[in-house]
Amino acid sequence: MSNVRKAKMVLDKSYIIAQVDNRIYGSFIEHLGRAVYGGIYEPNHPEADKHGFRKDVMELVKGLQVPIIRYPGGNMVSGYNWEDGVGPKEDRPRRLELAWQTIETNQFGLNEFVEWSKKVNAEVMMAVNLGTRGMDAARNLIEYTNHPGGTYWSEQRKSHGYKNPHAIKTWCLGNEMDGPWQIGQKTPYEYGRIAKETGKVMKLVDPDIELVACGSSNTSMPSFPEYEATTLDIAYEEIDYISLHQYYGNNSNDTANYLAKSLDMDHFIHTVTSTCDYIKAKHRSKKTIHLSFDEWNVWYHSREQDKKINHWQIAPPQLEDVYNFEDALLVGSILITFLNHADRVKMACMAQLVNVIAPIMTENNGRAWKQTIYYPYMYTSKYGRGHSIKPILSSPRYDSKDFTDVPYIDSAAVFNEEKEELVIFIVNKNVHDSIYLSTDIRSFEGYAVVEHVVLEHENLKAVNTSTGEEVRPHKSGASILNDGLLETRLTKASWNMIRIQNVTA
């Protein structure tokens, strides 16, 4: 029988961090592996609609309530000609896709993605190629997508069957331009200049768009955070967000250290926020740059397998991580981190959505299913909408290989005033012991627990497959609310969501 440790927390409705921007629950589709072909698009599948979109996949995506999806890359975008993916399919060229060394058929492109996004109730976050191309291709692209008509590219869109503009309002200025793996890698100064000028010309076409500039590809880049500082210094007035990318893995099979990596993400956010605010002060600007964490996830399971893939195939199975239960715990903690930084993190994209390091997996011409990470993503997206409330938390702590004073508990809370609902998200990272949590919520008078969802499993390495879900949530969590004190038993190694509603209204 496991021991029971104790923790305390205070949640007060006046401790507001910020309104949660629903776009933190975004995702990402790149022309990589089977994300598009065999993932969201498979014309010969028995579940395909008239557009070739898999209806079983669309239902799983809609279950996540994804508000915005980044497209078409990713590393791929730095060598991509967007014109290849529009117009009659029989006229579209096959190209060498250099980033992932595959063959791109271009049978799925911009217009197909816009159509698919509408069907899953998501907006489009479009990326432009600043690797092999630049401001000229970017201005043509936004004219194609956003201008009403009467010009060359807007009339091209109409001739392709789209009378009304796509009205894409969120744009990424390239991808990971600091990376030596990136086609067209740029120094901070080079990137700052092209981001500024491309942003300028795009906003001349459509002044209502928002622009995301590339930050560092991860915290271990030697130029971090100087890349952010230089880019912002040059392009501050043209851009609206700076991007952050980070992936985590448990290569050393050290669960305690692995689950502590949400602290690394927290530090990353603090550092980039500080950099943005320094440049704001330097420019004496009244404008605040917010953060777009537009690539994040667990990624390590498939790396050795991917080294064996032969080049120049069409949609080979790349980056197909099979996620286990402990991966779901870390994903839950990452989402909690975003909520606790709701004042600055306004967008985030789990990379990616289907098959490629994804919550949803498919078989070609076969089934689709939910990976373990699907569940914390789904519940947080569905119920984590409202005002983020700052938790005042006192938790037992531990030390790991790379971290000290790691709280066993990660927690965030969201108050939806319209629904009169308080939702608390909690991860217990202790793999041996339960934790007894007492939470003071006296400011939420007249509220009662309506649901306590738990994701737990005895085997940290348990996975879901096409033949069955080994890891799935239950609604038998132990939470009791009396006189403003919420008493909760957090079972060892568990993700929890507690919904509390006003029952007196």
Query: How would residue 504 be classed by pLDDT, with cut points 50, 70 and 90?
Result: confident
pLDDT of 349 reads 98
The token pair at 15 is: 């401790």
pLDDT of 505 reads 66
% of the chain surpassing 90 pLDDT: 99
CATH number for the segment(s) 21-383: 3.20.20.80
pLDDT of 501 reads 97
CB 259 within 8 A of CB 329: yes
pLDDT at 394 over 50: yes
Q: Known catalytic residues?
A: 176, 295
Indicate the average pLDDT of the chain.
97
Burial (CB count within 10 angstroms: exposed 0-12, middle 13-18, buried 19+), residue 253 = exposed
pLDDT of 249 reads 97
Query: How would residue 1 be classed by pLDDT, with cut points 50, 70 and 90?
Result: very low
Q: State mean pLDDT over 100-124.
A: 98
CB 194 within 8 A of CB 129: no
pTM, entire model:
0.97
Q: State mean pLDDT over 413-422.
A: 97
1 or 360: which leads in pLDDT: 360
Q: Within the chain, which residue ranges are assigned CATH 3.20.20.80?
A: 21-383
CB neighbour list of residue 138: distance below 8 Å, 6 or more residues apart: 128, 129, 130, 198, 201, 202
pLDDT at 4 over 90: no
Q: Concatenate the DSSP letters of all residues of 113-141 into one string.
A: HHHHHHHTT-EEEEEE--SS--HHHHHHH
CB neighbour list of residue 68: distance below 8 Å, 6 or more residues apart: 23, 26, 27, 122, 123, 124, 125, 170, 347, 349
Q: Within the chain, which residue ranges are assigned CATH 2.60.40.1180?
A: 4-13+389-502
Q: State mean pLDDT over 32-38.
A: 98
Model confidence pLDDT, tens digit, residues 232-256 = 999 999 999 999 999 999 999 999 9
Model confidence pLDDT, tens digit, residues 185-226 = 999 999 999 999 999 999 999 999 999 999 999 999 999 999
pLDDT at 383 over 70: yes
pLDDT at 3 over 70: no
Architecture of domain 4-13+389-502: Sandwich (2.60)
H or E segment and range at residue 481: strand 478-482
pLDDT of 272 reads 98
